[in-house]
Structure formats: structure tokens, C-alpha cells
Amino acid sequence: MEKNQISHFVDTLDAKTFGILTDGKAVLCHTISNMRGMEASVITYGATITSLQIPAQGGKVDVVLGFDSLQSYIDSYSLPSAPYFGAIIGRYSGRIKKGKFTIDGEKYQAASNHGEHTLHGGFEGFGQKVWQVENVSANAITLSYTSADGEEGFPGEITLHVTYTISEDNKLVMQYWATSTKDTVLNLTQHSYFNLAGHSQTIEKQKLFINSHKILETKPNGIPTGLILKVDNCPFDLTTTKYCPTKIDTTFIIDDNTVPVASLTSEETGLKMTVRTNQPSVHVYVGGNCFGKIKGKEDTQYNTLSGICFEAQHYPDAPNHPHFPSTLLKKGEEYHQKTSFKFEQL
């Protein structure tokens, strides 16, 4: 190993204290990177990505939204519409109608934190938990969390591991593994908001491509009707590259996981981000109603066009729609998800 590689390896293993919780527990921050200068900072609160620095024209660009302090992350979850900046979402990403579902004839009631519905796992999902660092190296970190049986109304004790890896071809790879002590439902995702011009800019001049011809129909409250709609000749047809919409909150169905499911490009920085996943859908989100009230990193006043989410996941409310891909995780079986975001110069 060459000297500069040794220095790179040692520096990235040094954890920093990001903040202290009221119970005295420290929240740590680790930074992982590759030899090309791409780096991600991850805190143990929510296994949250706080920064993602990408080499670009004119220097590095931080392409994800976030906060400079732990307290800001904590406070953001008390907003009427929490942004979930950079966090792992669980137990169930998206909505479950009235928080109700049935497994093997047994009825369950999850916490109804979004009106009468469950959103992103309940009142205190995985993004508000302190995770344990299991392993860290120069370019990868693995964190774990154990969710108690009955947490937020979901059955089974879940043992969960998440690994973030930065490859030498400037790819951020996320992998999730989970097991449960009881049959349960599980739907995980990562909730970073991306902006290839930098977190302090807007996405309105960035271009979006989504390799999907079908979306879920939803009611105004975001609950799926059960119908699947074709996007042909409608505003949701993003199979040809277009400027980012100013508002979108839609689940796109993925028919082919062997090819990229989405891409985002910025002519300003010359960056392109390509999304791949083994999940059956990606929920694309722009226009959060909490923006305008949030001051982010570097005193940036975030707005509704500050970032875009690509939430690779199963369908929302799948436990209540038998024709949707199943989110059932049976006792003793292993859940595995893999999603990647690759960055390159145009």
C-alpha cells in the first residue's frame, strides 16, 4: 500500500462527534471516500447521509440536502411534514392506509402518524434511531439497528444492517439486509434529496429521465387506489429526458432492473447521476410543503425546488393490495435490497 493510500485509509477511520442526545449518547460521524475525491459523511442518527461531495467542473459539489447540527435533524422531525433528509426509512417506506394490515389472518395496527395513515414507519421511524457502527473502512461503512417486536405497531424483532460503499468509479452503493423473529412487513429506502448543482441551488434547470411506462394511481392523500396507469402522453411520461417537474410525488413502476431506472443531469456542473435498484418501484418526490421553513447547511434557506428524492422501494400500501409485489418478510428469511447512484461528468 502506497503512502498516500495509507494516509487516506487512516484519516477516514477517525469518527467525529456530530452531537450529543439528551440522554448523553453521542452521535458519531464517519466520512468514507475513494481515491478520486468522492466522499460521503454518515452519522449514526438515522444512518443519515449528511454530505455527499462529488468532483465536478470547478471543484467538489455537495449534492445532498442536510443540516450542520444534530439538533436541526431532531427538530426537523417535529415539522408538520418532516423532510427525512438523508435518512434510512423504515419499517415501512411510504404510506399504509389507516395503518392497518393483516398477516396470516392476524390484524395489526401501526402508528398513525400521518392523519389516520402510517407514513415512513410511524412517529419515530428508523431515521430517528441511533445506529451502531459495525464496520468502517476507507470507502465503506456498515451500520446496524435492532427494532423491537411491536415497535410502532409492527410485529417481529427486526435485525437490520445497512452498508454504504463508494466505488472507484464514483458510485454510491447502498445495501440493506434484515431478518425478523416473526412474519412481518418491511419496506426500506434511503431518503436523500439530490441537487447536482449543489445543495444551495435549485433543480429547475436539471434534466430528469425515468425508465418507467407505468405509475400507481393514488388518491389526493397519497394512498394507492390499486390501479396502475400508463404514462403515455401525460406529464408523468419521463421516458424521454425533460426538465425536472416543479412538483411530483409519484411511484413509478420498474419493469426492467437490468438497466438504469432513472437519471438526473446538470449542465451547470457537468454532472450526471444514474440510479439502479433491485426494487420494483422508485418513488420520485419534488416540492415538499415544509420547505421555506427549513434552514439547511451553510445557512441555506431550502425551498420546494432545492432537491429531488429517488426512493427505491416496494409500492406504498402493498400489504393491503394482494396484486402488488409482496412486502412480507417471513420469520427466518432474509430481506436484501441494493440501490446505487453513479456520478459521472457529461
Q: Known catalytic residues? A: 191, 311
State how far Cα 169 lies from the chain centre. 21
Phi, psi at 218, each rounded to 5°: -130, 160
Whether omega for the bond prior to residue 91 falls within 30 degrees of 0, making it cis, is yes
Strand pairing class (88-89; 189-190) = antiparallel
Separation CA 40–CA 100 (nearest Å): 37
In this structure, what is the dihedral angle of CA atoms 176, 83, 316, 338, given to the nearest 10 degrees? -20
Phi, psi at 19, each rounded to 5°: 170, 170
Separation CA 48–CA 66 (nearest Å): 9
Farthest CA pair distance, the chain: 61
Separation CA 292–CA 271 (nearest Å): 26
Element (H, E) at 59: strand 59-62
Task: Please state, as a whole number, how many other Cβ atoms lie within 10 Å of the Cβ of residue 210.
Answer: 27
DSSP string, 311-344: EEES-TTGGG-TTSPP-EE-TT--EEEEEEEEEE
Among 328, 307, 335, 244, which Cα is nearest to 62's? 307
Query: What is residue 103's three-state secondary structure?
Result: strand
Is residue 249 within 8 A of residue 287, CB to CB? The reply is yes
Q: Please report, in angstroms and rounded to a whole number, the separation of the first and last CA atoms in the chain.
A: 32
Angle at 253 between CA 236 and CA 169, to 5 degrees: 95
Is residue 144 within 8 A of residue 159, CB to CB? The reply is yes
